[in-house]
Structure 1
Amino acid sequence: MPLPTVAIIGRPNVGKSTLFNRLVGKRLALVDDMPGVTRDRREGEAQLLGCAFRVIDTAGFEDEDPASLPGRMRVQTESAVREADVALFLVDARAGVTPLDEEIARWLRSAGTPVVLAANKAEGRAGEAGVIEAMALGLGEPVPISAEHGEGVGDLSEALQPWIDLPEEEAEDEDEDSPDAPLKLAIVGRPNAGKSTLINKLLGENRLLTGPEAGITRDSIAVPWEWQAADGTARAVRLIDTAGMRKKAKVQDKLEKLSVADALRAVDFAEVVVLLLDATKGLEVQDLKIADRVLQEGRALILALNKWDVAEDASRLFNGVKAALDEGLAQVKGVPLLTVSAATGKGLDTLMQVAFETRDAWSRRITTGQLNRWFERAIEANPPPAPGGKRIKPRYVTQNKTRPPSFVLFGTRVDMLPVSYQRYLINSLRREFDFGAVPVRLTMRAPRNPFDRDREQRG
């Protein structure tokens, strides 16, 4: 049974994201003193009084032209409230009731969604007058709370209980290695590459805020979804939209720094990362830096050229980007490069198919027997060098983890193997076991020489 949903609504800067973080028990939403930080609606799971529910943090409700950015944000907020089981209307007790609060209250009364009114920042005497004033909104007695300090959350839980009172079911441990587990797919890239548009196209709805303005997305937003594969099976996906990542030197604004840090955390959370490129701008140095960061974190990487429907001289562009990738990402050859159009949907099914195949490779485990048969052939075909006349004796190799595939090579003096020979072994591993372009890690483990240790002690 789906969890009941609580949508937090209110004008900008009343503390909605702070309350959201308090309810979910994690610092998921970006918080800043500047109004209007939240733009897309963010979801999380909360537990109060033994009840589990889904909570939605919405953008600040503003009275603006529907075509403007604040106007489009308001449309997202209204949609979240209509879908919710209960709306949690937050006002600022210290600022008192404003005309915009009164407008929101009028809209809520006509929306048909049950409403719980809460007066935030009510700690101390400074908020007492605002709590009393909020009663005039006609939405019942306000619950005084302090989202920042956690005061009044128990009273808020009791006020919400009629709409969230479903027994919390025991959560089963999700086996992340299972091919049936949801694919955690993050979409990253420079600002205005079309990340939110692509996710909206996959979902078939305007779930994320989009527009011509660069940098609309600030929080990393995770959205559950099911992809219908060509064979008719439904595959669970967790789509993660992220803020655009510009060159570090250009990121001066505090809020943009928070957004970029949030996007990098989303990469750590993901299994497969799609780096979305703007086909009208080609490949830039910043794209290679983002790709390198993804690979350093051990995530599986796919590159997608977006806006392919309006790209000029497509064949030359594709070959140029591919050549630049081979040169710029020397540590991993053959990263999948796909062409898509978030506007028309072209290539998106192929993108999802490749994403699942890439995760399969990223999660692959090889038996020790298979590994050592490969290992014997690789050593025989290309014996290790003897730097300084010291013979290196590789003994055996084993896989110590997956996601990404990681291996340990044991033997005498294997820690002296040149980087070029290590790269030979990794590339041979890729070919033999069809790892494709996912990161493969190889660690050398050589036993310490007791005679060397004795000499060190005598010295």
Structure 2
Amino acid sequence: MSFTLAIVGRPNVGKSTLFNRLVGKRLALVDDQPGVTRDLREGAARLGDLRFTVIDTAGLEEATDDSLQGRMRRLTERAVEMADICLFMVDARVGILPTDEIFAEILRKKNANVILAANKAEGRAAEGGLIEAWGLGLGEPIALSAEHGEGLNDLHAQLMPLADAFAERARHDSAEAPETDVTLRLDDKGEPEDAPRVPTREKPLQVAVVGRPNAGKSTLINQFLGEERLLTGPEAGITRDSISVTMDWDDVPVRLFDTAGMRKKAKVQEKLERMSVSDGLRAIKFAEVVILLLDVSIPFEQQDLRLADLAEREGRAVVIAVNKWDIEDDKSNKARELREAFERLLPQLRGAPLVTVSAKTGKNLDKLQAAVIRAHEVWNRRISTARLNRWLGAMVEAHPPPAPGGRRIKLRYMTQAKTRPPGFVVMCSHPDKLAESYNRYLVNGLREHFDMPGTPIRLYLRSQAEDNPYKNNKKSTPSRLRKHLGKGPASG
């Protein structure tokens, strides 16, 4: 039985460091500056034979108003109420502060299972803080060092009886539940050749939401979820980590990645912002579909174009979403301007969907979902070799390739070498002589004929002569034979 463990405490006590150690990856940003974590981050944790979900939370602060710190605190308190177990971390080197005592009282009221851990407990300097931690009334504190991995055995010992209790409860609940048959049987005919990869629970559709600061990325994901899962507000640059959440879109499992707003490289000076931007760029590389979220008041800024170009170069399917559509007055003219600007500024994404949405009101989110799923299907599409060669013959007949220096280029045959994104190999003579304009002619023809708008298409030209052992042999065998026998023609 899996359970949920929320790590809570004041800022800079080492919550994200312990989170990274439990999940075995550097998922959460870690820095000496307090208050780095702002959103809730979930991960699959492993501690000995225990498997559970761990939640990294924002540092608890005393603010209770609508300030950024107050909103962060409310989000953390919500995680405490949802979690099965809370791990309350204090700093053993700093000792127990009045704030720790206030939050210990809150945890006693909100969660029945609270484990106390005194982090940074390595060395004699932490002995005083360990003794003070007893005064919080949460039992014996675990002497922990998240950075060095010390004290994890003690943590395992305290989690084990709680995990057994959750497992026993789950067995009891399953015994009382009615039996249902939900087995799905696939027919033996297999999938058609053009069928895309179907997202599953184990491998959901990966979607990254990217854009400039304050474009509304976190608000958009909250609207999809139907709850305030991610921290939002009028301040730019609230999101720092790339946070992933999982949901279903009409029975399609989807994992959405909320990324930090990305400014121009010259404006990114602070180390923490550089780390956030790097985390967001990594999310683009691991995504299957990228939603580029624009602000309707300032669409297609230079940074938007860079992000779109990066997604295309990485081979990701791209969907353009224009946010804050609810505040636009002249919608018909604005929509025409957006489409014209898109076709002019991003020709490499020709035909990609452009959807106007309102993350605040939820308008047109169904259209955005449909556009993402459709883009993913096109991105996974496979076309049979027979269809490709019939198409290639028609394209060459309509417009034969140029003949540089009088040497005719023959396009012999074509096949699809890969998907995600679609990649095609054309076997031809003199591939290095084929003009780039003809390459674009073929790519655009593929988009139109096989209905693949917007998705990146890779076209590779190959020469069959590369496998010819006589390729560099300029003189034929009869010529060499005549030279060996004399100037005259060879005779029997």
User: For the superposition of Structure 1 and Structure 2, which TM-score range results when normalised by the shorter chain?
Assistant: over 0.9
Mapping 1:106-125, distance limit 5 Å: 106-125=105-124
C-alpha distance in 2 between matches for 1:124 and 1:397? 67
Q: What is residue 238 of structure 2 aligned with on the other side?
A: 216
Mapping 1:333-348, distance limit 5 Å: 333-348=350-365
- For 1:429, the aligned partner's letter is L
C-alpha distance in 2 between matches for 1:433 and 1:186? 26
Which shows bigger deviation, 389-398 or 326-335?
A: 389-398
C-alpha distance in 2 between matches for 1:283 and 1:313? 18
C-alpha distance in 1 between matches for 2:247 and 2:75? 18
Q: How far 1:313 sits from its partner (Å)?
A: 2.3
- Runs of 4 or more above 4 Å deviation: 449-455
Per-residue CA deviation, residues 362-389 of structure 1 (Å, 9 max, x unaligned), is 1111122222222222222222222233
Instruction: Say whether the 8 Å CA contact 1:179–1:360 is kept in structure 2.
Output: no
1:260 aligns with 2:277: yes
C-alpha distance in 1 between matches for 2:199 and 2:108? 46
C-alpha distance in 1 between matches for 2:78 and 2:91? 23
Choose the corresponding residue for 1:178, options 198, 203, 220.
198
1:240 aligns with 2:273: no
Q: How big is the alpha-carbon RMSD for the aligned residues of Structure 1 and Structure 2?
A: 1.9
Per-residue CA deviation, residues 160-191 of structure 1 (Å, 9 max, x unaligned), is 22333578xxxxxxxx9224552212111111
Choose the corresponding residue for 2:420, options 364, 383, 403.
403
Q: What is residue 185 of structure 2 aligned with on the other side?
A: none
Instruction: Say whether the 8 Å CA contact 2:44–2:54 is kept in structure 1.
Output: yes
Instruction: Say whether the 8 Å CA contact 1:393–1:414 is kept in structure 2.
Output: no
C-alpha distance in 1 between matches for 2:122 and 2:100? 20
Per-residue CA deviation, residues 230-285 of structure 1 (Å, 9 max, x unaligned), is xxxx2221111111111111111111111111111111121111111111223312
In structure 1, the residue corresponding to 2:255 is in which secondary structure? strand
Change (3 A) 1:390 1:450: farther
1:313 aligns with 2:330: yes
Instruction: Say whether the 8 Å CA contact 2:199–2:253 is kept in structure 1.
Output: no
C-alpha distance in 2 between matches for 1:164 and 1:369? 57
Q: What is residue 293 of structure 2 aligned with on the other side?
A: 276
Instruction: Say whether the 8 Å CA contact 1:226–1:235 is kept in structure 2.
Output: yes
1:419 aligns with 2:436: yes
Per-residue CA deviation, residues 317-360 of structure 1 (Å, 9 max, x unaligned), is 22222212112112221221111111111100111011111101
Change (3 A) 1:163 1:377: farther
Per-residue CA deviation, residues 202-244 of structure 1 (Å, 9 max, x unaligned), is 11110010001000000011001122x3xxxx22211111111
- For 1:209, the aligned partner's letter is L
C-alpha distance in 2 between matches for 1:399 and 1:123? 58
Which shows bigger deviation, 19-28 or 406-415?
A: 406-415
Normalising by structure 1, we get a TM-score of 0.92
- For 1:369, the aligned partner's letter is A
Per-residue CA deviation, residues 33-55 of structure 1 (Å, 9 max, x unaligned), is 10000000001101222221110
Q: What is residue 25 of structure 1 aligned with on the other side?
A: 24
Q: What is residue 323 of structure 1 aligned with on the other side?
A: 340
C-alpha distance in 1 between matches for 2:46 and 2:23? 7
Change (3 A) 1:97 1:367: same
C-alpha distance in 2 between matches for 1:453 and 1:101? 79
Instruction: Say whether the 8 Å CA contact 2:80–2:111 is kept in structure 1.
Output: no
Larger Rg: 2
C-alpha distance in 1 between matches for 2:426 and 2:456? 17
Instruction: Say whether the 8 Å CA contact 1:394–1:414 is kept in structure 2.
Output: no
1:361 aligns with 2:378: yes
- For 1:296, the aligned partner's letter is R
Q: What is residue 100 of structure 1 aligned with on the other side?
A: 99
Q: How far 1:453 sits from its partner (Å)?
A: 4.7
Q: What is residue 193 of structure 1 aligned with on the other side?
A: 215
Change (3 A) 1:164 1:442: farther
In structure 2, the residue corresponding to 1:331 is in which secondary structure? helix
**Equivalenced residues, count:** 442
Which shows bigger deviation, 247-256 or 389-398?
A: 389-398
C-alpha distance in 1 between matches for 2:264 and 2:334? 23
Normalising by structure 2, we get a TM-score of 0.86
Instruction: Say whether the 8 Å CA contact 2:64–2:73 is kept in structure 1.
Output: no
Instruction: Say whether the 8 Å CA contact 1:81–1:113 is kept in structure 2.
Output: no
Q: What is residue 250 of structure 1 aligned with on the other side?
A: 267
Q: What is residue 131 of structure 1 aligned with on the other side?
A: 130
Q: Identity of aligned pairs, percent?
A: 59
Change (3 A) 1:134 1:398: same
C-alpha distance in 2 between matches for 1:313 and 1:454? 69
Q: What is residue 171 of structure 1 aligned with on the other side?
A: none
C-alpha distance in 1 between matches for 2:254 and 2:430? 45
In structure 1, the residue corresponding to 2:309 is in which secondary structure? helix
Q: What is residue 87 of structure 2 aligned with on the other side?
A: 88
C-alpha distance in 1 between matches for 2:455 and 2:230? 29
C-alpha distance in 1 between matches for 2:149 and 2:103? 25
In structure 1, the residue corresponding to 2:421 is in which secondary structure? coil
In structure 2, the residue corresponding to 1:303 is in which secondary structure? strand
Q: What is residue 11 of structure 2 aligned with on the other side?
A: 12
- For 1:207, the aligned partner's letter is R
Q: How far 1:452 sits from its partner (Å)?
A: 6.2
C-alpha distance in 2 between matches for 1:163 and 1:439? 50
In structure 1, the residue corresponding to 2:348 is in which secondary structure? coil
In structure 2, the residue corresponding to 1:407 is in which secondary structure? strand
C-alpha distance in 1 between matches for 2:65 and 2:16? 23
In structure 2, the residue corresponding to 1:87 is in which secondary structure? strand
Instruction: Say whether the 8 Å CA contact 1:198–1:343 is kept in structure 2.
Output: yes
C-alpha distance in 2 between matches for 1:128 and 1:400? 63
